[in-house]
Amino acid sequence: MNYKYIIQAARIFSAVFSPFYMPVVCFIALFTVTYLNLLPANYKVSVLTLVYLFTWLLPTILIFFYRKVNGWSALQLRQRRKRSVPYMLSIISYAAGLYTMNRLHMPQYMGGILISALMIQVTCAFINTRWKICIHSAGAGGLTGALIAFSILFMFNPVWWLCLTILISGIVGTCRMILRQHSLAQILAGTLTGVICGCAGILLS
């Protein structure tokens, strides 16, 4: 009975910390832990809505219809060979979001979050052609990488926030192993990919 609750908790946590949510979480953190918290509330809501539409809602809808057209269950879509098109749909959605932000002349460091997310998606899609990598861990690792990058750009001490993001990464990875979706190696590779891409995408943008 207890194991049943653990499985349910792992599923809930995996859903809450879906990799599609990570760009939104990064923006929320950006508007919370830096001086950007002084921006008008309506501007912050507008940015978060834009990011949500292109990084969560649009790819989720596209992948859902792709799965329905092929008659696959959500479980079948987790197979490595069936993940290529969902990766491409996500990449297209994120790229469209980045293009929209550039057209609206938003600051480069904001676009850097989507560049980081795109780098994570492209890297994981490439690795997935040969080996299954944990995109959940890559998304969680991206939070840590982005936090490191923003601490450099905005010159603040990230230690306590790093503790939180590392804890989240550990919980996400544990949940994916409990659900038997990934091995430890796949989770570690995803986390490392996320940290590197999350940091580089922002610092180099």
Per-residue pLDDT reduced to its tens digit, 168-185: 999 999 999 998 888 999
pLDDT tens-digit profile of 83-127? 788 889 999 999 999 999 999 988 888 889 999 999 999 999 899
List phi, psi (to 5°) of 139.
Answer: -65, -45
Element (H, E) at 10: helix 2-16
- Segment 11-30 shows an average pLDDT of 85
Enter the tokens of residue 70.
Answer: 């092929």
The residues, ordered by sequence, that sit 6+ positions from 4 with a Cβ below 8 Å of its Cβ are none
pLDDT at 30: 83
Domain that holds residue 44: 2-203
In angstroms, rounded to a whole number, what is the distance separating the alpha carbons of residues 108 and 153?
12
- Segment 22-40 shows an average pLDDT of 86
Quote the pTM value: 0.87
The residues, ordered by sequence, that sit 6+ positions from 190 with a Cβ below 8 Å of its Cβ are 124, 133, 134, 135, 136, 137, 138, 141, 173, 182
pLDDT at 75: 67
Count of domains in the chain? Answer: 1
Whether the CB-CB separation of 191 and 143 falls below 8 Å is answered with no
Please name the amino acid found at residue 26. Answer: C
